[in-house]
Structure 1
Amino acid sequence: MKVKKLLTCLLIASLFIGVFSGMTLAGKGDVVSLGADLTKEQRNKILQEFGVKEDEVSIIEVSIEDVKRYLESATSKEIGTQAFSSAHVKLKSEGEGIIVNTNNISLVTKEMYANAMATAGVKDAEIKVTAPFTVTGTTALTGVMMAFEEATGKKLDENAKKVANEELKLTQNISEDLGSDQATELIRKVKAEILGQDIKNPEDIRRVIANIANELGITLSDEQIDQILRLMERISKLDLNVDSILSQLDKLEKNIDIVRDTIEENKGFFQKIIDKVLDWLRSIFG
């Protein structure tokens, strides 16, 4: 009788392992970018965090030189001298938009990443950004773009990648005064208006910035307005698929809400299973 009960418990345990491991299996279009300066132990832990093995996913390394190539205006103090940030990029079906999750990233939010990724041309992908310890997150975008190119087999526009990094850096900077949510929303709305209306004249861009800041109840300094203006001028001159970017921006906020709701639903779902199993075990063993 005891053997039968033990076998039953082992069967239940195996079912749980199957459920959770199935949630993290790598699939077609999965690429991992790893910071080139990770130790072997850190590298293994990050792969474990992503739920992948080296022989089942494409892996690329990102060096600090790769980062510098796309963050030309950044100083060594801002980006550091070593690359530790890593990312897991999984391609999704067309129309699903960009979904971002982060771990050990202190200053850059997932909304900031997704906003800048759309500028670079990243689309319809689920992305996890992490590091072995807490980092600001400014340099991680380079690895995401490189991983997306590897996953799709297509190169992103070089200028768009540089502008996307500058956008991320600027959003992070102004978030120190405005807060991350307002800073991200401001840049997203201004960018959508500039691209959607094909606005290129600097004074017209300035008016858009002022109008949207007013709508959001944001007070900007003259320096901040000039910084956003210069960024939007560069964005307006890029050779971009405007419809695609606007579509990604439109889905961004919706996807963030969906992820939050799904996490809460899954917590409830698995808690119910655990409770039922525990009740069943108590009925057997007392």
Structure 2
Amino acid sequence: MKKNIGLLLLVFLIMVSFALPNGVSASTGGEGINEKLGLPIVVYGEALTDAQKAKVTKLLEVNQHDQVDEFTVTGQDIANYIGGNPNSNMYSSVKIIHQDNGAGLNIEIVTPDNITEVTKEMYTNALLTAGVENADVLVASSVKVSGHSALTGIYKAYDAKGVALDKERMEVASEELDVATSIGNQEGVDQAQVSELLTEIKKAIAEQNPATKEEIEQIVQEQLQNLNIELSPEDRQRLIDLFDQMRSLNIDFDQVKSQLDELAGGIENLVNDEGFWNSLTSAVRGFFQSIADFFRSVIS
């Protein structure tokens, strides 16, 4: 009987291992120190208590690496990098793993229930605007936060490692995140639609290379119509002003167009799959029900 129970337990563990999803960081552990790309970077929010920091350390799987470079992001950092409030409390934290050129920018929000306003697509859009590429970025918080401080933490990490990001681009990226979360909080517009809108506007800018603010306004209006999104005149103007700022900075959207294409495809699939969450819930419920049925049938 003990042998049968042991066999059943083994079967159960194998089935669970196939069912559970793998995160972005799954392929980065146990490989030693990458001397070419450097150590992974972990940036903790300054407002975390010791207990909260310990929880975030576990969430970000910091102990899977032989060594990491560790920093703390403060309210003064948000003032220095993007002109924010130096009295801000910083909670959201990040782990950054540099990758080879061409690997792309991959974002994973480890604690989606605690990052309440910023989606991974919003992070991706903002970081591409700021000039961050070719990295795996994990975001986590042990308390519910909007998620804005993680962006500043990423900027500080790159700065501390000697990678110069343009200050104006960082400020525009922060404004992009503010606009995205503000629009995404309004009735009738969800976060996935906002991410798709920003991505499609950037792709249109890459293709059309607008030279004036009027051309930016036309692109914004066309994409709003294409995606059937209704915005107030104030929010529409915020988008126009935002992308006109990007145009004036001469950001090369062609350079990241392939990443934008991948991002747009992922967002579109999620937006169009109306039954995604219901199907996922049903699948998980059915999986564990099948395990229970299996045990009952064998034991009986």
Q: Same fold (TM over 0.5)?
A: yes
Choose 198-207 or 93-102, whichever is displaced more. Answer: 93-102
| Alignment of 1:144 onto 2:140 | no
Aligned to 2:172: 163
Secondary structure at the residue paired with 2:42? strand
Secondary structure at the residue paired with 1:53? helix
1:158-213 Cα shifts (integer Å, max 9, x gaps): 21111101100011111222521222222221222223322130111111111111
Gaps of 5+ in 1: none
1:93-146 Cα shifts (integer Å, max 9, x gaps): 524443332451011111111111111112233222111110111222111233
Q: Which has the higher contact order (CA 8 A, sep 6+)?
A: 1
Which amino acid is 2:73 matched to? V
TM, length-normalised to structure 1 = 0.76
Matches for 1:226-237 after TM superposition, within 5 Å: 226-237=237-248
The answer on whether the counterparts of 1:32 and 1:57 sit within 8 Å (CA) in structure 2 is no
The answer on whether the counterparts of 1:98 and 1:125 sit within 8 Å (CA) in structure 2 is yes
**Change in 2 beyond 3 A, CA 1:13/1:56:** farther
Aligned to 2:230: 219
Matches for 1:256-275 after TM superposition, within 5 Å: none
Aligned-CA RMSD value: 4.0
Aligned to 2:94: 87
Matches for 1:95-114 after TM superposition, within 5 Å: 95-101=103-109, 102-114=112-124
The answer on whether the counterparts of 2:12 and 2:291 sit within 8 Å (CA) in structure 1 is no
**Change in 2 beyond 3 A, CA 1:279/1:209:** closer
Indicate which of 167, 179, 183 corresponds to 1:174. 183
For residue 236 of structure 1, report the CA deviation from its aligned partner: 0.9
Aligned to 2:125: 115
TM, length-normalised to structure 2 = 0.72
Report how many aligned residue pairs link the two structures.
279
**Cα distance between partner residues in 2 of 1:181 and 1:280:** 39
**Cα distance between partner residues in 2 of 1:254 and 1:151:** 34
Choose 202-211 or 51-60, whichever is displaced more. Answer: 51-60
For residue 6 of structure 1, report the CA deviation from its aligned partner: 10
Gaps of 5+ in 2: 271-278
The answer on whether the counterparts of 1:89 and 1:125 sit within 8 Å (CA) in structure 2 is yes
**Cα distance between partner residues in 1 of 2:165 and 2:227:** 32
**Cα distance between partner residues in 2 of 1:276 and 1:57:** 42
Identity %: 29
For residue 258 of structure 1, report the CA deviation from its aligned partner: 9.6
